[in-house]
Structure 1
Amino acid sequence: MRAFFYLPESAMNEATEYYTNLIIKAFEGYEVIISQEPFIEEDVDVIVTIRVADQNELKYQNKHKKYFFVNWFQGIGPEEYELLHNYTLRSKLGKAYLSYFEKKGLKKTDLCLFVSKEMERFYKKKYDLKFENKSLIIPCYNKALDEASFLVEKKYENFSFVYAGALYGWQCIEESVQIFKKVYEFDQSATLTLLTGQKREAEELIKKYDLKNVTVGFVKLEKLQDELMKYKYGFLLRKDDPINNVATPTKMNSYLAAGIIPIYTDVVKDFEEHINLGDYSLKYRIEEDTLLEIANKIITFNTKSINVEEIKRIYKENFDKYYSDHKYIKLIQDKLMILSNKV
């Protein structure tokens, strides 16, 4: 049997490469064809896409053949479009347009790869669809646990914070730096590093909030984990809305893989169901906890000593159960076994 992966260059980055390679590994026994072009000239049985819009670009040599479609649904695109365009009338029209193709794609796809169970619930409710046995849940991640990161000298002794990624408002960057400012006012040994390509925006934030002990840095993706392992805490705050409810931000995976203690919120439903950090959980709710309350709780937590072996064991359990290549490859293969009897 043959599987055709349509992976256009515009869709590929470090996160999508890891995810698609995971899917490809599951196609053991298949002849896998990887293409950046949407032309399906080969006699293939399975077509794999990683964006809903990519299904519309495909051009078939044999239009009458029954293909089995697999698609990775990375996020709820129409709602993200509306948010990024500030909920204007034009954005609402764009949302309606995108929703039409999204629903069409969901109905067309024979195996839907969702990043969370909440995403499946969202689509069921929004489009009144039933997925039954045509869906799998695989969270977004791209890093394995680096056990050496727990042994970095003075890692858990320094009062160090990091924020890695873009500085968009919906990622609660302003709330993050304000919390840090309140922590710094209590303890001037606290440091914050903003690892981002948006240097100008970062410097504007520093000036806006008159931040001290905050530095701006940037490292290439292939060196990011080496940099992250230096820090004790990492900011991953989100607000309670459907976009964040269904997401599984790779930042959580990156932080945990580097031995960082994440400062996060309870709105990511899949993390609520599957991430368990035990005594090392710094989880809050922006809608209920004030920024000062969050800062005070972090200050209190920082008085505790870190048992390196214990935190490493807890993190490893999360990787074994949640960020596990073996687990998801097996789940996909089980679905493909059923598929092979249908195509």
Structure 2
Amino acid sequence: MNKILFVTNRNILTTCGELRLIKNRAEVLYSNWNIGTDFIAIAKKSRINSVHEKMDFPCELRTINASRNSISVFLDIKQNIKEMTAKFEYKAIVVSGLFMEKLIPFINEIAPKCKIIADVHGAAEDVLEVSKEKESFHRYIMKCAYFLEKRILRKYLPKADGIFVVSDALKDYLESLYSVQEIPMYRVPCATTNEIMSPSEFSRNRNYYRNKYNVGDDERLFVYSGGVSPWQCIDETIEIYHLISQKINNTKMLLLSHDVSSIDKTILNEANIIVDSYPSEKIEKVLCAGDFAFLIRKNNLTNKVAFPNKFLEYVKSGMRIIATQNVKDVYCQMKRYNLGIILDIERLDIRELISSIEKMEPSNEYRSVVSEVLRINSFDVQLKKFVCDVIFPEGDDSE
């Protein structure tokens, strides 16, 4: 079996968006091309000792305790890479996360025949967005981390043999800042499966969850699914829903989040806002209940180059999406395939929004649109160039 080694300080142990991308990508590499992935995960001791989300394919997972001196951690990472590369002949080693590109020269030295792929999920400026909610000392530390990360990317990213990016906008961003124009970039967004439910399964799920939440046939159900971090704009989303509910009768909102305890308790008392939580594997079924889904993001660099996990989940559910123009790839696909409504939250025209909602009726033709959007973003399609370039460069039979 051809194998990849994945070295990361991202969270690949417990449920979150970055685990979803990394895990699903590895699962498709295994199921479609028989390419295995082993992992070296650098994480806090508390996360290492917690219950891990299971990988649904055979792999070796080594964990390194990050709750120690940074020099000791880095030496431990190098030792584990050395041991793993001596044990297996990997076709590629993927480095993913803050400062991980610094490992590229070391990997080149101990495994010169192995391709090195940098896995980039977003802009380095992400850390600055997160720091805005922190106290002054933590803001200072995170700002230092930002400048160090930029320096490492500038020095080491051009030494990679390839780069995973989640969006075309992220590719443009990296090319504009670093000397990576000649390095192959593989756009691999966080995709769901590209098979849509049969009409009977969809109807069964839709009826079940609408009955569960007492949503009538004549009611429109608006859905928000995700976390409650400021960048996910949950407060703005709820405010927009309130404006909609004042103008349109018979509406409800379903708010799905793992962070239910963090949601303002006054919302829980509103009769037409339902708050609930599900494991990730059940969300696909629950979303069938909805008619419109919210994907609101503010205008900043972090959002511009992102590709939110929820976008394709919303598409697959058949809901029309209410989104802002601030996530470039999502905006382009929504315009191209007429997937919903684009808002300007800085200058919200509520009358125009209401008019757009009223005009959007269910359509049998929309099913074929959903299939095409899922196909063009699927791991099956987006990983193929990486597999041909890196795993089977000699044209071996990869199927």
TM-score higher than 0.5: yes
Q: How far apart are residue 116 of structure 1 and its match?
A: 1.1
Which range moved further: 176-185 or 93-102? 93-102
Which secondary structure state, in structure 1, belongs to the residue aligned with residue 377 of structure 2? Answer: coil
Kept in 2: contact 1:143–1:254 (CA 8 A)? no
Give the match for residue 95 of structure 1: 146
Kept in 2: contact 1:203–1:216 (CA 8 A)? no
Give the match for residue 328 of structure 1: 382
Q: Deviations over 1:129-182 (max 9, x none)?
A: 133352111222234333437543589853111111111111111111011111
TM-score (norm 1): 0.83
Q: Deviations over 1:287-309 (max 9, x none)?
A: 3x32xx2x433422333362431
Report the CA distance shift for 1:62/1:100 in structure 2 as closer, same or farther (over 3 A).
closer
Q: How far apart are residue 54 of structure 1 and its match?
A: 4.6
Kept in 1: contact 2:311–2:330 (CA 8 A)? no
In the aligned structure 2, how far is the partner of 1:61 from the partner of 1:15? 26
Which secondary structure state, in structure 2, belongs to the residue aligned with residue 303 of structure 1? Answer: helix
Q: How far apart are residue 253 of structure 1 and its match?
A: 0.7
Give the match for residue 128 of structure 2: 82
Q: How far apart are residue 284 of structure 1 and its match?
A: 1.5
Which secondary structure state, in structure 2, belongs to the residue aligned with residue 234 of structure 1? Answer: strand
Kept in 2: contact 1:22–1:325 (CA 8 A)? yes
Give the match for residue 355 of structure 2: 300
Q: 1:229 aligns with which of 284, 288, 301?
A: 288
Report the CA distance shift for 1:165/1:284 in structure 2 as closer, same or farther (over 3 A).
same
Kept in 2: contact 1:245–1:269 (CA 8 A)? yes
TM-score (norm 2): 0.72
Kept in 2: contact 1:233–1:261 (CA 8 A)? yes
Give the match for residue 311 of structure 1: 366
Q: Deviations over 1:204-259 (max 9, x none)?
A: 4627xx85511211111111111111111111011111111111101011111111
Correspondence list, 1:146-165, <5 A: 146-148=197-199, 151=203, 152-153=206-207, 157-165=218-226
Give the match for residue 178 of structure 1: 239
In the aligned structure 1, how far is the partner of 2:304 from the partner of 2:151? 22
Kept in 2: contact 1:19–1:142 (CA 8 A)? no
In the aligned structure 1, how far is the partner of 2:377 from the partner of 2:143? 35
Kept in 2: contact 1:26–1:332 (CA 8 A)? no
Q: Which has the higher contact order (CA 8 A, sep 6+)?
A: 1
Report the CA distance shift for 1:130/1:188 in structure 2 as closer, same or farther (over 3 A).
same
Q: Which sections of structure 1, spanning at least 5 residues, go unmatched?
A: none
AA aligned to 2:308 is: P
In the aligned structure 2, how far is the partner of 1:160 from the partner of 1:240? 27
Q: 1:69 aligns with which of 111, 116, 124?
A: 116
Report the CA distance shift for 1:89/1:119 in structure 2 as closer, same or farther (over 3 A).
same
Which secondary structure state, in structure 1, belongs to the residue aligned with residue 219 of structure 2? Answer: coil
Which secondary structure state, in structure 2, belongs to the residue aligned with residue 3 of structure 1? Answer: strand
In the aligned structure 2, how far is the partner of 1:173 from the partner of 1:205? 14
Q: Which sections of structure 2, spanning at least 5 residues, go unmatched?
A: 14-18, 39-58, 63-79, 134-138
Report the CA distance shift for 1:249/1:105 in structure 2 as closer, same or farther (over 3 A).
farther
Give the match for residue 142 of structure 1: 192
Size of the aligned set, in residue pairs, is: 331
Q: 2:160 aligns with which of 83, 103, 109?
A: 109
Report the CA distance shift for 1:61/1:67 in structure 2 as closer, same or farther (over 3 A).
closer
Q: How far apart are residue 25 of structure 1 and its match?
A: 5.2
Kept in 2: contact 1:277–1:315 (CA 8 A)? no
